[in-house]
Amino acid sequence: MVLEHPHRSSQLLQRLTPYLFLAPALIILGLTVFYPAVQAFLLSFTEYEYDITQPPRWVGFENFQTLLGDRVFWQTLRNTLLYLVGVVPILVLAPLLLAILVNRALPAISWFRAAYYTPVVISMVVAGIAWRWLYAENGLLNQFIIGLGISAEGVPWLTSPRLALFSVMAVTIWKGLGYYMVIYLAGLQSIPADLYEAAAIDGSDGLQKHWDITIPLMRPYLFLVAVISAISATKVFEEIYVMTQGGPRNSSKTIVYYVYEQAFQDLEISYACTIGLVLFLIILGLSLLRLAVSRESSTIL
């Protein structure tokens, strides 16, 4: 009878210990994330004919062919790309300006930081309802515009196909400013003050010092915020659902809201999974870009 060596058993136990600690999280992720993702991928190649309680029928790439000819999908894709172009540059630059503004040893500066960060902790549903009241026909913004004599009837913020999406963008920007400001603030506080003093001796002061020192040293944070805000803008849903529900005439409908509409309103589960697969590929590309940026940031910092 051959007995296993105790030292070899202890080494095996040491190698297995990390996986034993990870096992509960992996099981939960497998049941709530990975398994549904695989099911959604398989459903994108099927179709429910009459009853979603019955097994779906395999249709191959038929859903993808339908997707290519779906005008609403292409409109939601354009809206999503427009959302990226309209939101991301502002969320990259404006929080940096705020971070530079509050990165000073001034009286009550902590209150200013808290005030800028307050929209982040507010629920998006609450914020959307509040902004919908502000955008209303008799809301505060239109009352202010009418009072100044700019317009006699106000502005159709959420009822005009040309303005609805941009009005929702403003809410996303307002809510994200404080979050990205904190990221930039952490980066600014890691820059040694000696660099600014040396730059002042060389004649680089005022706004010029930020161009010569702050921007180059904050480049990893700029790329990181750009990728994070791009992923968030791609997945925007709550603002659309609360404020416009994709209207008017699909002018503010994004891909995520279109997936929700197909799955839970029209009960086109398979087609919704097909759209979700396209969205997954877009977010996967942005996530890989974020991973590359994070690696670059860690090597630079």
Number of domains composing the chain: 1
When pLDDT is averaged across residues 51-70 and rounded to a whole number, the result is 87
Q: What is the pLDDT of residue 82?
A: 94
Query: What is the C-alpha to C-alpha distance for residues 191 and 189, in angstroms, rounded to an integer?
Result: 5
Each residue's pLDDT tens digit, 109-136: 778 888 888 888 999 999 999 999 999 9
Q: Is residue 40 part of a domain?
A: no
Tokens of 260: 């929700």
Q: What is the CATH number of the domain that holds 207?
A: 1.10.3720.10
When pLDDT is averaged across residues 53-69 and rounded to a whole number, the result is 88
pTM for the full predicted model: 0.84
HSE at residue 112, side-chain half, CA atoms within 13 A, is 14
Q: CB-based contacts of 240: which residues, under 8 Å, 6+ apart?
A: 168, 246, 252, 253, 254, 256, 257
Q: Is residue 176 part of a domain?
A: yes
Each residue's pLDDT tens digit, 185-204: 988 888 887 887 777 777 77
Q: What is the pLDDT of residue 1?
A: 45
* C-alpha distances in Å from residue 226, one per residue of 43, 94, 287, 290: 33, 12, 11, 9
Q: Is residue 45 part of a domain?
A: no
pLDDT of residue 300 exceeding 60: no
Query: What is the C-alpha to C-alpha distance for residues 245 and 253, in angstroms, rounded to an integer?
Result: 7
Q: Is residue 104 part of a domain?
A: yes
Residue ranges making up the domain that contains 113: 61-300
Query: What is the C-alpha to C-alpha distance for residues 239 and 176, in angstroms, rounded to an integer?
Result: 13
